[in-house]
Every structure is written in C-alpha cells, then in structure tokens.
C-alpha cells in the first residue's frame, strides 16, 4: 500500500471515531449551566474584592459551589444529562444565587 493510501485510511478511521463520539458528548454538555456557574463564581469573587462578602461567607459560598459541581458531575457520570437533572441543577443554582445575593447585601463587610 502506498503512503498516501495509508494516510487516507487513517484519516477516515479517525474521522469516523470522532463523528461517532459527538452524540455522546452532546448529551453530557450543558453550556447554559456551565455559563451560569462561571457567572456566579465571578459574582462571588467580585463580592470578595469589593469587601461585601466576608471570608466566612466566601468559604460557605465556595463549598456550596463545589457541592453543585460535584452533583452535576455525578449526574453526568452515566453519559446522559437528562432534562430532569438539568432542572435539578438549575434549582440548586437558583438557591445558590439567592445565597450570593444575601451575602452581598447583608451589610457585613470585612
């Protein structure tokens, strides 16, 4: 077999493997949830930088964010991230959002 034929076959095999894995990736990705988690993380850091969130509040909020990330990872571990799991994650993020708001607006400063 010629070199270019081997390269073409290798490319086709690699392409078919990559295309075969796309549906599996699509089921476990959640760009909206990931974007929301990143935004909330930024809100926490901005609150610390401005002095509106105390170190104790920061630690509590960080633990909560870690719990959410862990729960999301466990939900995605089976390879499928269902609508119900996304709703549950959003509910956890809603609760966390309220906690961040309260921490930033409770008149405690560092």
pLDDT values of the chain reduced to their tens digit, one per residue, 110 residues: 656 555 556 566 666 655 555 555 546 778 899 999 999 999 999 999 999 999 999 999 999 999 999 999 999 999 999 999 999 999 999 999 999 999 999 988 87
Tokens of 51: 């002095």
Residue 92 is assigned to a structural domain of this protein: yes
Is pTM beyond 0.85? Reply is: no
Domain limits for position 44: 30-104
Residue 2 is assigned to a structural domain of this protein: no
Residue 13 is assigned to a structural domain of this protein: no
Q: Is 53 left (phi over 0), alpha (psi -120 to 50) or beta?
A: beta
Residue 18 is assigned to a structural domain of this protein: no
Residue 44 is assigned to a structural domain of this protein: yes
Residue 110 is assigned to a structural domain of this protein: no
Say how many domains are in the chain.
Answer: 1
DSSP letter at 94?
H
Residue 50 is assigned to a structural domain of this protein: yes
Alpha-carbon dihedral sign for residues 21, 92, 94, 37? negative
Per-residue confidence (pLDDT) for residue 13, from 0 to 100: 62
Per-residue confidence (pLDDT) for residue 20, from 0 to 100: 54
Residue 47 is assigned to a structural domain of this protein: yes
């Amino acid at each position: 077999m010629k070199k270019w034929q081997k390269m073409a076959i290798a490319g086709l095999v690699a392409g078919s493997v990559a295309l075969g894995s796309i549906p599996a990736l699509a089921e476990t990705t959640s760009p909206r949830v990931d974007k929301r988690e990143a935004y909330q993380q930024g809100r926490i850091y901005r609150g610390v930088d401005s002095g509106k969130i105390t170190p104790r509040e920061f630690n509590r909020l960080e633990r909560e964010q870690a719990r959410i990330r862990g729960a999301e990872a466990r939900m995605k571990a089976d390879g499928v991230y269902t609508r119900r799991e996304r709703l549950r994650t959003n509910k956890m993020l809603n609760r966390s959002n309220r906690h961040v708001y309260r921490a930033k607006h409770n008149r405690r400063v560092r």
